[in-house]
Amino acid sequence: MAMVRDIQAAGLTPMQLGDNITTLLKQSQYVLDPVVTVTVLAVNSKQVFMMGEINHVGPVNITPGMTILQAIATAGGLTPYANKKKIYILRGDKQQKIPFDYTRAIQKGDMQGITLVPGDTIVVQ
């Protein structure tokens, strides 16, 4: 917005952001009585990333409670060349490597206590 320049939106509710924009517009000499509405169209900060032998490599938006199997399914599933024994999750700054047993998850429903965290990278070799 040219009249108010850049505004930090991260961490604010839509109402708080609207109030901040209204305040800044009131300080401008061009807008007398601003009416501001902020609508969130999408939340893209909660993503995991799919790499390797996945049909659709790239980011996947995660929802609360989403499992690794659900993330893999959302990305189109494994390719025919995927090695189901070589799947792991890279997590955090130090790239902690967490192995995932795909066959055990499919056959027994055992997610091995792994909960997806925004920023995880699921690698399928």
Domain ranges for the chain, please list them: 1-41, 47-124
Q: What is the mean pLDDT of residues 63-68?
A: 91
Residue 78 has a pLDDT of: 97
* 1-15: pLDDT as tens digits: 566 778 888 788 999
pTM: 0.67
Nearest to 49 by CA among 38, 31, 61: 61
The correct CATH number of 47-124 out of 3.30.420.40, 3.40.50.300, 3.10.560.10, 3.40.640.10 is 3.10.560.10
Q: 56, 76 in Cβ contact below 8 A?
A: yes
